Structure 1
């Protein structure tokens, strides 16, 4: 990878995270002043994020804002900058309780297991999950 590729990849991630934040905050229907206070960032910074002007906003700050907003997100990079992106999990399922006690217990056990993993173990588990999802996706395309 070249330095130019690195820069383009980080910019793609910044843009995607900002887009996901804008969508998430738009669903909450808060004005920027209230949202900025809740996210503990200046309102002009939030305005830049919501309008996609993120060249001067660090990826770290965008991730911190996503965490503060409670936005479950996965960042992905690839060999080319076009493969980089921010993908949001099912926001509604993380906000509402499960339909059964068994599902609640399973979710709690999974979260506890994840907390006990080292960062390297979490990364390896995520990579394995991504490989399995990719294989499932490819198999689905072949069958259609």
Structure 2
């Protein structure tokens, strides 16, 4: 979406995709997301917010496969496991998908100015009384 406080140039759109087979494969989800984004993106607009929502989630191992699905799921799982192991050993983002960018640092940063502390869910954010 663009700036909602600029009514003359406000633009908002969304798309939905239903995967034929439930997936937790990052490359597959990136491909779906990029395809949907191409359908709604308008060049020249100054976007302020974007997001992805995953719904109809199911437990791993309870996937109803599609008879015509040609994706090698075990190979995809092996790839993601290998990436996780490398990143655990070499540091976060040592290996990453090109879709998130190739620069060593982000040229943008989300605004968290009004984020509430997570006292009830993060031990590191508990208040300290001295």
TM-score (norm 1): 0.24
Q: Which structure is higher in RCO with an 8 Å CA cutoff and minimum separation 6?
A: 1
**Structure in which a larger fraction of residues adopt helix:** 1
Relative to the length of structure 2, the TM-score reads 0.26
